[in-house]
Chain A
Amino acid sequence: DTGVSQNPRHKITKRGQNVTFRCDPISEHNRLYWYRQTLGQGPEFLTYFQNEAQLEKSRLLSDRFSAERPKGSFSTLEIQRTEQGDSAMYLCASSLDPPPYEQYFGPGTRLTVT
């Protein structure tokens, strides 16, 4: 296992379309995190899973956003009816539980909404 992978790496979509991103964590990691990073800013927390359970969602995650981790392995993040403000880098990270929860990041998916 070479680390956290994310697909696609880049996505360009028109406003109003739906998009789905995938994250494959490090295989033995049971925690998985999604973050969003806009240009010039640090990443912001969106949501995280322990195994298949979604434990916390940020207020940034509007009802157009949904994340799943159905079998406790890979995760998907879907954005419905995309808006230009959704343009950002979407980062996934994974960690082991129990502590210290050191997180390992994927390369990110850059979304551009035109």
Chain B
Amino acid sequence: KNEVEQSPQNLTAQEGEFITINCSYSVGISALHWLQQHPGGGIVSLFMLSSGKKKHGRLIATINIQEKHSSLHITASHPRDSAVYICAVLNFGNEKLTFGTGTRLTIIP
């Protein structure tokens, strides 16, 4: 079993829909990243959080440390949001990232 599990693996939605991507992890962490990867490979960090909730524009990330679960929400989704979204946890004590396999999001106009 992977230390970081994401669901769903693939998600296709219509423009304007509310999107939720989930991440569960099984190890002790000091923080969790949500990352966005477009075709071609470049990775952009969207959020790093260790508790509660963060919001940036149409993106919202939440984390529940007790349940070892995080969610990434996208409101009013747009085709430009189409990308792979990766959850990565910063392992407590060794500061290296362990990644989920990603969620491929496609937003149809």
Contacts and interface: CB of A to CB of B under 8 A. Distances in A.
| A in complex with B | yes
Interface of A: 31, 33, 35, 37, 40-45, 48, 56, 89, 91, 93, 99-108, 110
Contacts, number: 66
B22 interface: no
B95 A101 contact: yes
B96 A33 contact: yes
B76 interface: no
Contact of A89 (B30, B31, B41): B41
Interface residues of B, number: 25
Contact of B42 (A41, A43, A101, A105): A105
A48 B96 contact: yes
B31 A105 contact: no
Contacts of B33: 102-103
Given A42-B88, A42-B102, A102 B97 contact: no
B7 interface: no
A105 B43 contact: yes
A103 B45 contact: yes
Interface of B: 4, 30-31, 33, 35, 40-45, 48, 50, 86, 88, 90, 94-102
B28 to A, nearest CB: 15
A40 to B, nearest CB: 8
Nearest to B104: A40
Contact of A100 (B35, B48, B100, B102): B48
Given A33-B97, A56-B94, A102 B43 contact: no
Contacts of A91: 41, 43
Given A107-B40, A110-B41, 14 more contacts: A35-B97, A41-B102, A42-B100, A42-B102, A45-B96, A99-B30, A99-B95, A100-B31, A100-B50, A100-B90, A103-B33, A105-B35, A108-B42, A108-B43
B101 A107 contact: no
